[in-house]
Structure formats: C-alpha cells, structure tokens
Structure 1
Amino acid sequence: MSFDHVWLNAHLATMRDGTLGLVEDGAIAAKDGLIAYAGPRTSLPDHDAPTTDCGGAWILPGLIDCHTHMVFGGNRAGEFEARLAGASYEEIARQGGGILSTMRATRMASEEALVAAALPRLDGLLREGVTTVEVKSGYGLELGAELRQLRAARALGKARRVSVATSLLAAHATPPEYAGRRSEYAKHVAEVIVPAAAAQGLADAVDAFCENIAFTPEETAMVFEAAQGLGLPVKLHADQLSDGGGAALAARFGALSADHLERSNAKAIAAMAQAGTVAVLLPGATLTLRESQFPDIAAMRRCGCRMALSTDMNPGSSPALSLLLMLNLGCTLFRLTVAEALLGVTKHAASALGFKDRGELAEGMRCDLALYAVSRPAELCYWLGGNPCIGRVVAGAAA
C-alpha cells in the first residue's frame, strides 16, 4: 500500500468512542496529510514508505487549546498583586483595570508588536504538543483594534506550523467611549464590527462575555443574531461570576461552546447537551481567581454534555502558558478522570471549535500527532510541571 510516512514502535491513545482508545504496539500511516491507518502494528498493510521509530512513545492526536486570548499588549502583574492584597476581580474591573487595562495597551500596539509578543506564548504550547489553537480578539473594543488583533492571530498561523482558529470577542467589555451606553456598544458590535470582521474573513466564530460586569443576555443575543445572519457560529463566556442565563442562551443559539460555567445550573447544562454545545472548562481562571465554586461536573456527566479543557490564556484572570498544566488542574480541581481530561484537549476541544477532521486517531482524520515519552497517558495529567513531548506532526509532516 502507498503511504507517505509511517510511525512505528509506538502506543496509541486514539480517543475513539469516548474513551482513551488505547492500542499497545500500534502504528500510524499518513497519506496526503491525513491518517491512512491507525491501529495495531500487526495489522498495518505492507508498504515501502519512510518510517519513524518512536522508541516506545505514546502518540495522541495533536493537542487543541480551544480557548485563548494570547494576542494582547502589556500584562497585568500589578493587578495580580492587588488581588493578593484582597481586591476582587470584579472590583478591579469596576475601577478601570481588568479588560480595559489591557485594552489600552493593545490599542497602542502595532500588529507586528502583537505578533511578536504572542509568538513566545504560542511556542510554549507547541512544545507541549499543541497543533491547533483558538485565539480571541476582545482587547481592542473598537473596530480597528479588534481587526488588528484578528490579523495578528492569522499571522501566528503563518509564522508557525499550527492551525489557528479565530474568534471575534468585541463584546468583551464596554469601552470608555461608550461609558454608560453599554447597549449602544452591543448594537455597534452587531451592526458594524461583526459585519466588518466577516467581510474580511478574519473571524471563524463570534464570542461574547455574558455577565453582570459585561453584557446582558438580550445584548448578547443581538450580537449572536448578527453573527449567525452572516453565517458565523457563536461561542460564549457564560456564568463565570453569576448564573446569569449564559449557558441557557448558548444552548438556545446552538453555540459551539459555552465556556467557564462555574455557576451554571443543571437545567441549562442539560439544554447545552441537547443542543450539542460543548462545555469548555477553564481551571486556570478558577485557580488564579481563587474561586470556591466549580463547574457542575456531575450534572455534565449525567446529561452527557461533552467537556473540553483549555488554558484561557490571558493577562488577567488566567495567565496560563501550559495546556499540560491544565490537564492536571482539571483532574485535581474539578475531579475529571484521565479520559475526560485527555478527551477535553483532543476530540472534545475539536468539537468546541467546530472541527470534525481532527481530535482522534482514525482513518481520514488530519494527521496531527503529539508524541510523548511517558509510560502511560495518565502521566500527562499526573505531573505538575515538566514536558514529556518529544515530537509533533502537523498534516502528516514532522513539525
């Protein structure tokens, strides 16, 4: 049989059928950037393709970080100090800090400066085995700066061998130009910023922050209607600080994902499951903000709501640079199983971005692979710190 490349002497975690899908002594073959075979070595068809001896490594689908804000200017280490002194995230935001602080630094930065600042953050993820990453805007809060963030995100995908999915998050906070006129700004996002991003092909999805310090469900719905009218799927920051109906709203719009969900009720979670909306869990924010209330994992399990796991990499509430660390936090803080955590950064993370061509090792999928020098996949969730990734493959070629 004709293959472009074959990986041998490896064990596979295929992520098929909602399990780890373990295959001892496995093999993977690639053809035209896709997986042409993934299974036991003994069943691999005869071939004369170049091979890589993986030295007994475990191969997983390339990891997917499905919720990041990695393109931004400046940092908020000073606010970190303030929180340690007792200030809450909400108090800092109401005093002009938080998102608006990063807005000011981001507006001042050129596209080139934003790319240069983001590349080291991206490179850290790639070293851990990430092959797909989502990047949000949301720190410009005006048309030019929002589009500049999205262009910078697209540029990251050209500068490195990685797939970058972009989300327009202009409805992240009310900018100072619209102080006291939040609804007017939401209307501006819906009528001006969303159409502009769509027309320039810069956004793969539209996101919003539905919260008592951000936008109401009604204002969020206005943005979502504009997005869907232009053929763009939607995502939502939901119920992080209060149960404000965000999860239910995401389900009503058939959102790709609803993210955070620390205070979502069981009924809304069940509605998400029925709508096919993925729950994206962000333990980095829980840890950084010292939250005492966690997402209702038991409710998600009961109704079969798919769970993804991500860094939420951002300068304020989750300055997390490691997706492998999120695997450990997902297990230790939220009590996810190893299978739930690893599905959360592969198959379910792909679903949270609307990708059907990646996230598992199966024939016909993109040949995006991550190789790890571990004795079993559980080690990826077990260790705090360290990085056992020994190789990445993107579309069938070593990266």
Structure 2
Amino acid sequence: MSNKLAIVNIGQLVTLAGPPRPRVGPEMRELGLLQDVALLIEDGRIVATGSYQDLRNRIGNETAVIDAQQQLVTPGFVDAHTHLVFAGNRAAEFEKRIGGATYQEIAAAGGGIQSTVALTRKATEEELLAQARKHRDWMLRGGTTTLEAKSGYGLDHPTELRILRVLARLAEDGPVRIIATLLAAHTVPKEFADRRAEYLHWIVADLIPEVASLELARYCDAFCDDHAFTVEETRQVLEAAQTHGLGLRLHAEQFRPGTGAALAAELHAATADHLETVTEDTLHLLLDAKVQPVLLPASVFCLGRDQYPPARRMIDLGLPVVIATDFNPGSSPAPSMLFTMALASIHMKMLPAEALIAATINAAYSLRLGDTIGSLEQGKAADFLIHECDDYRELAYYVAAPARPRVFIAGSEVTP
C-alpha cells in the first residue's frame, strides 16, 4: 500500500524547477515560485504541484493532509561543507581571538586544528557518535536535510577511520542524508612535523586506498594553505584520490591567492571551497573547468575577518555558486544554514533568491545529488520545509531568528 501525503494551503511554494544542472547567472534568481498551491507526495517522492482545485481529485481518503496555513514551503537545505565529527570545543581559543590573536598565531602555538585532533584521538567511537548526533540535530532543527561531512580531526589511522565510521553510522540511522569526505590532508600532525613527506606518503599510499576499498568516503579533500599543504603536496593527495575513484573537493585560497584553486580547475574537482582571496584569472579557470565554488561566509564572520569571497563577481561570470556553513569547532562554530544565508546576502551581496538556490539545488549538484534532491519537482525526494514565515526573502532577512521549520525528509516529518 502506498504512503500518500498532501500539503495544502501553501502560501509560497519554492519549487526550484528548472534545467537538470546547477543554476547560473540570472537562473540563480528563478525560484519556480508558485502561490496558493498544494504539494502531493507518494512513497517519499514528489508526485505533483499545483492549485488545490487542480489536485483535489487526487487527494483520496487514504491521503494524509497537512495544512501549511499559507506559510512558505521550500526544499530542505543542503549543507555542502561541514566538519561534523570532533571532540570537545575551542571556546578558549575563541576568547583568545576576541582578545586579538589571529587564527594563524593560535595554530602556531599548538592550538587550532591540532588541539581538536588531540581531543578527538582520545574520544571513543561512541563518544564521537553522541557529539556528532548533537551537531547533526542542531542542523536538522534549522532545516538541513542533507549534509557533507569531513574527517580530518584524527590525522592518524585509527581516528580517521573512527570518524568515517561515525559518519557511516549516522547516515545509516538517518534521517539526514550524509555524504562523507576524507580530509586526512587537513594539516600535518605534530608527530610528523619534521617528517612531512612520510605523512603525505601514508595518506597517498595507504589511507586513501583503504578508505576507498571500504567505501567509507565518496570524496577526498585537502587543505591547501601555508600552514597546511602546498599546491604540489595537495596534488599528490588529489591525484591518488582520483586513481581510487574518489571525487575531489578542495579548501583553497582562504588566506592568500595561489593556494589551490587553479589546481582544483586543473583536476576538474567537484568544488573549490572558501575562495576568499581568489583572483579574477583563477575564477575564469574554475568556470572553464566547471568547478563549483563553495562559499563559507560564516567562517569569515567567526574569524572576525572582512574579506568575503567575491560572490557577486562569481554569479556575474556564470559560476554555479554554493553556500555552506563550514561548521567546525574553530573557525566556524555556526551550524545554521539560515544564518549562512543571511551572511551571504548582507556581506556577499547575494539576493535572497540567489542565497536560497546556493543552499539547495546548487549545493545538491555539488554533491552529485541534483537529480534526487534540492528542488521540489516530480520524481524527486520529498525533502522540504514548512517555514514560520510566508515570504522567501524572510529566510535571509531575519538574522539568527530562532526559527524552527517543520522538516520533512522523504515525505516523513522528522523531529530531532
């Protein structure tokens, strides 16, 4: 027996109906907006959208009916860059940054990623699972229905695999869809400070093949930066990942230009993430290579910096922009996609429609899931939100409002 659901009395329905590819240029303002409509769902997938008058004959006695009360309905948010699994927090370092210390100064003093690595290595799998589930639930309450999550706080064999197993368990438990990424090339661990080549060889020759064979990750990422990995070191990691069938994502150009975005274009990575300092020439390389930029304004905000990625220029060039939280314990302890949308509008001058598309359908395509999620079109998964507002612009307008949308994944309402 099929499972049928009808959402009726929708004030605004953002369908994001459009071409089967990421949205670019003026398309990033085309929401496929319908007014005063209903949404029909069967067996977890969208069946139809349209006026209640047109659809009411398809709503039978066996159909569950939910009155949206003229509220806004959108696709669920897709957070395409997170660091979900870690132990402890870095509140003490947050206090130091408020006092004037820079991210780089804290890292050089043994803090930053290394401090989280030390705590995460000490944690059991069950402890990591419990904390990751808490983080996941924060995101779910805010409307995130799919997320990408990276390892990278282990930097050794047992802990990197432990983090990836936690992600696999969370994905299996549901309801949030989770895409795992290997990020052992996050930074060089302290014990390998004088043996960089040896650590890099271990990632390339041992860890990547094992993770790929165990199918614990769909992507491989690396942090290309002065305090992490050089462009040539990053190349070794990403080429090994390609050889073993993993997709590529890359932390690039966060603190200075020339740190990886051109490499992402050369290797046709799925995404280049951060890009705060990216140059015009490199943007053209990304465009030609069809690399999606994933912009992380909460990271800029939380670090107290003022150089945001040039989102307006990217959109004008025709790049299919994505926005994501970069949720992590150091540079972006900010799990909210709604807050990310507000920052994208205020600081990167993205229109609310552009921010919404960057947080849904474009993000879905960056994870190679655009044919399944990210818009409310016939045949796609019924991942959607009934918001506590009636205009899509309010999603970016009310900054850090304690919003609690009703969240549906595959047609079922979920509450963390």
User: What range describes the TM-score normalised by the shorter chain of this pair?
Assistant: over 0.9
Where does residue 392 of structure 1 map in the other structure?
407
Asked whether 1:16 is paired with 2:30, we answer no
User: Equivalent residue of 1:46, what SS?
Assistant: helix
State the superposition RMSD in angstroms: 1.6
Contact in 2 for aligned 1:338/1:378 (Cα 8 Å): yes
Any gaps of 5 or more consecutive residues in structure 1?
none
How far did residue 75 of structure 1 move?
Answer: 0.9
Where does residue 177 of structure 1 map in the other structure?
191
Asked whether 1:347 is paired with 2:347, we answer no
Contact in 2 for aligned 1:308/1:349 (Cα 8 Å): yes
How far did residue 216 of structure 1 move?
Answer: 1.1
Asked whether 1:29 is paired with 2:40, we answer yes
Contact in 1 for aligned 2:325/2:336 (Cα 8 Å): yes
How far did residue 51 of structure 1 move?
Answer: 2.0
* One-letter identity of the residue aligned with 1:23: L
Moved more, 272-281 or 258-267: 272-281
Where does residue 4 of structure 1 map in the other structure?
4
1:129-179 alpha-carbon deviations (Å, 9 max, x no partner): 111011110000011100101111122223441101111100000012211
Give, in whole Å, the separation in 2 of the partners of 1:387 and 1:46. 38
Contact in 2 for aligned 1:311/1:323 (Cα 8 Å): yes
* One-letter identity of the residue aligned with 2:144: V
Moved more, 66-75 or 179-188: 179-188
Match for residue 44 of structure 1 among 24, 33, 55 = 55
Moved more, 16-25 or 253-262: 16-25
Match for residue 180 of structure 2 among 166, 169, 172 = 166
Give, in whole Å, the separation in 2 of the partners of 1:302 and 1:342. 17
Give, in whole Å, the separation in 2 of the partners of 1:277 and 1:6. 38
CA gap 1:267/1:44 in 2 versus in 1, 3 angstroms:
farther
Asked whether 1:360 is paired with 2:375, we answer yes
User: Equivalent residue of 1:333, what SS?
Assistant: helix
Give, in whole Å, the separation in 2 of the partners of 1:227 and 1:198. 8
Where does residue 289 of structure 2 map in the other structure?
275
Contact in 2 for aligned 1:207/1:234 (Cα 8 Å): yes
Where does residue 168 of structure 2 map in the other structure?
154
Asked whether 1:377 is paired with 2:388, we answer no
User: Equivalent residue of 1:144, what SS?
Assistant: helix
1:346-387 alpha-carbon deviations (Å, 9 max, x no partner): 011112212121111111211111110212011110112224
Give, in whole Å, the separation in 2 of the partners of 1:39 and 1:130. 25
Paired residues for 1:197-236 under 5 Å: 197-236=211-250
Contact in 1 for aligned 2:3/2:44 (Cα 8 Å): no
* One-letter identity of the residue aligned with 1:6: A
Contact in 2 for aligned 1:210/1:244 (Cα 8 Å): no
User: Equivalent residue of 2:145, what SS?
Assistant: strand
Give, in whole Å, the separation in 2 of the partners of 1:199 and 1:117. 27
How far did residue 3 of structure 1 move?
Answer: 7.1
How far did residue 321 of structure 1 move?
Answer: 2.4
* One-letter identity of the residue aligned with 1:182: R
How far did residue 249 of structure 1 move?
Answer: 1.1
Contact in 1 for aligned 2:76/2:360 (Cα 8 Å): yes
How far did residue 45 of structure 1 move?
Answer: 6.8
Give, in whole Å, the separation in 1 of the partners of 2:406 and 2:180. 25
1:166-224 alpha-carbon deviations (Å, 9 max, x no partner): 11100000012211232332221111111111111110111110111111111111111
Moved more, 125-134 or 233-242: 125-134
Contact in 2 for aligned 1:3/1:29 (Cα 8 Å): no
Give, in whole Å, the separation in 1 of the partners of 2:354 and 2:397. 14
How far did residue 46 of structure 1 move?
Answer: 2.7
How far did residue 74 of structure 1 move?
Answer: 1.1
Give, in whole Å, the separation in 2 of the partners of 1:180 and 1:339. 49
Give, in whole Å, the separation in 2 of the partners of 1:204 and 1:351. 14
Match for residue 109 of structure 1 among 91, 103, 123 = 123
Give, in whole Å, the separation in 1 of the partners of 2:235 and 2:56. 52
Give, in whole Å, the separation in 2 of the partners of 1:9 and 1:275. 43
Give, in whole Å, the separation in 2 of the partners of 1:282 and 1:104. 25
CA gap 1:42/1:257 in 2 versus in 1, 3 angstroms:
farther
CA gap 1:291/1:392 in 2 versus in 1, 3 angstroms:
same
Any gaps of 5 or more consecutive residues in structure 2?
19-26
Give, in whole Å, the separation in 2 of the partners of 1:33 and 1:253. 36
Where does residue 260 of structure 1 map in the other structure?
274
Where does residue 148 of structure 2 map in the other structure?
134
User: Equivalent residue of 2:348, what SS?
Assistant: coil
Contact in 2 for aligned 1:182/1:215 (Cα 8 Å): no
User: Equivalent residue of 1:168, what SS?
Assistant: strand
Match for residue 327 of structure 1 among 341, 350, 375 = 341
Percent of pairs identical after alignment? 40
Give, in whole Å, the separation in 2 of the partners of 1:29 and 1:230. 41
Using the size of structure 2 for normalisation, the TM-score is 0.92
Asked whether 1:59 is paired with 2:73, we answer yes
Give, in whole Å, the separation in 2 of the partners of 1:237 and 1:268. 14
CA gap 1:170/1:267 in 2 versus in 1, 3 angstroms:
same
Using the size of structure 1 for normalisation, the TM-score is 0.96
